[in-house]
Structure 1
Amino acid sequence: MTVKIETYYDFRSPYAYFADYRVRKADFGLTTGVEWVGRPIFIDVILNLQSGREPWAPYVDTLIPPKRAYLMADIRRMARFYGAPLKPSWKWPNRPNQIPALCVASLLSGPVEQVFRSAIFDGLWYEQRDISAPAVLREVVARAGGDPAIVERAGDPAVRDALTERTVEAYAAGIFGTPTFVWNGEIFFGADRLDVLAWNVNRMAAER
């Protein structure tokens, strides 16, 4: 039996990177085949909608200093826990421009999208690559088995608008952060919920 699991992600989320890393390692006990369907979204749009702002309102950092310090420590701790390499080239408050890569991802599908997604996560979180550079994006698309010309298509403002609209629709459907997995109408939020997701999928498969 093969099940379909939708994966909502934004490249700038370290927890989405950890989730992608775990999916590649298959370290959470799934005993059935899975089709992982990538759903790129703009996390800034999600955060704005949560705060009642327009989708592309200027970014506002709402984390208080103690929570920011906890978040930074937790990212390092979870990287060690999962065994995921972590060496980003940026530090807060600098924020990498993930929009070009997300726009490219939105035009891909199937295995090409999945390989592209993982390569961009690796490029951002430990290979120290500029994931906004067209040359980098073209190289990654080609390595994933896609047509590098799609990078130019992704630069069309209409592509960003379409992805923004899909992000708004995802928020309306209950997606409030990344990574989020949707299976059988259920939402599982966070890299650590992959274990619970696997438990649910395995349990239902055993009952059939």
Structure 2
Amino acid sequence: MHRADLYFSFRSPYSYLALPKWRAIVRDYDLTIDLKPVYPLAIRQPDFFERNHPNWLRYTIRDVMRVAQHQNIPFGPPRPDPIIQNIATREIAAEQPYIRRLVRTGQVAARRGRGFAYADEVAQLVWGGAADWHLGDHLAGAAARAGVDMADLDAEAERDAEALDAEVAANQEALEAAGHWGVPTLVFNDEPFFGQDRIDLALWRMEQAGLEKRA
């Protein structure tokens, strides 16, 4: 059994777009992917969007939409955005209940060895075009499909928030120690592969290391 770490943001459209390929690889190969959720730039560097070039956001939106179309992946702007942000001014709100819930429960799921499955199911809710993903039983259904209980995840996320945030910060530090800083990044044998367009390269490297298809 081979293992790899996937550094992932619930607010990153590219993290979402990488999931179908990784899902298929985990299904077909003797590989376990351990989720390492991190907080998005909007939390780690709240002034990032204000400092960035005005074309950055516009280009990113165009690019993720065409990648989704090219790969036939359901895609729609998240409703609501996991980050509460004034799009006109790019200012990030001080209180961020959505992303903190997603990241903390993602880390709880990772503690239980179900992080990748949980991120996969939740990302499909957030980025797959559904409205009001945060309401009703949407998240509970996603968690159930991932093999965990949402009420249990939420309870631990609230009870152990400080420790979970420390674990998430350690994830970010480990990502940077491995040689990158952004998501999605897969790290295998201390080698980072950044972006949804480096998955084939990562698979090639893992096959060099002996990764085989499941019997």
Instruction: Choose 166-175 or 190-199, whichever is displaced more.
Output: 166-175
* Structure 2 partner of 1:55: none
* Residue 60, structure 1, aligned to residue 57, structure 2: no
Q: 2:155 aligns with which of 152, 155, 179?
A: 152
Question: Among the aligned pairs, what percent are the same residue?
Answer: 24
* Structure 1 partner of 2:108: 107
Q: Does the CA contact (< 8 Å) of 2:105 and 2:157 recur in 1?
A: yes
Instruction: Choose 137-146 or 112-121, whichever is displaced more.
Output: 137-146
**How far does residue 13 in structure 1 lie from its aligned partner after superposition?**
0.5
Q: Secondary structure at the match of 2:117?
A: helix
* Structure 2 partner of 1:52: none
**How far does residue 135 in structure 1 lie from its aligned partner after superposition?**
4.8
* Residue 44, structure 1, aligned to residue 41, structure 2: yes
Q: Secondary structure at the match of 1:85?
A: coil
Q: Does the CA contact (< 8 Å) of 2:16 and 2:123 recur in 1?
A: yes
Q: Does the CA contact (< 8 Å) of 1:42 and 1:167 recur in 2?
A: no
Q: How far apart are the structure 2 equivalents of 1:141 and 1:32? A: 24
**How far does residue 186 in structure 1 lie from its aligned partner after superposition?**
0.3
Q: How far apart are the structure 2 equivalents of 1:74 and 1:17? A: 13
Q: Does the CA contact (< 8 Å) of 1:98 and 1:132 recur in 2?
A: no
* Structure 2 partner of 1:84: 73
* Structure 2 partner of 1:71: 60
Per-residue deviation, residues 46-105 of structure 1 (Å, max 9, x unmatched): 853xxxxxxxxx443133122322211111111112221112244783888322011001
**How far does residue 203 in structure 1 lie from its aligned partner after superposition?**
2.4
How many residues matched? 194
Structure 2 CA distance for partners of 1:82 and 1:191, relative to 1, 3 Å: same
Q: How far apart are the structure 2 equivalents of 1:79 and 1:88? A: 12
TM-score (norm 2): 0.76
**How far does residue 153 in structure 1 lie from its aligned partner after superposition?**
1.7
Q: Which amino acid is the alignment partner of residue 153 of structure 2?
A: I
Unaligned runs of 5+ in 1: 49-57
Per-residue deviation, residues 122-157 of structure 1 (Å, max 9, x unmatched): 000114254555854344323322233221221243
Structure 2 CA distance for partners of 1:123 and 1:198, relative to 1, 3 Å: same
Q: How far apart are the structure 2 equivalents of 1:5 and 1:171? A: 12
Q: Which amino acid is the alignment partner of residue 43 of structure 1?
A: P
Q: Secondary structure at the match of 2:34?
A: strand
Structure 2 CA distance for partners of 1:68 and 1:144, relative to 1, 3 Å: closer
Q: Does the CA contact (< 8 Å) of 1:46 and 1:177 recur in 2?
A: no
Q: How far apart are the structure 2 equivalents of 1:138 and 1:59? A: 33
Structure 2 CA distance for partners of 1:137 and 1:151, relative to 1, 3 Å: farther
Q: How far apart are the structure 2 equivalents of 1:46 and 1:168? A: 12
Q: Secondary structure at the match of 1:87?
A: coil
Q: Secondary structure at the match of 1:152?
A: helix
Write the mapping of 1:127-166 to structure 2, written as runs, cut at 5 A.
127-133=129-135, 135-147=137-149, 148-156=151-159, 157-166=161-170
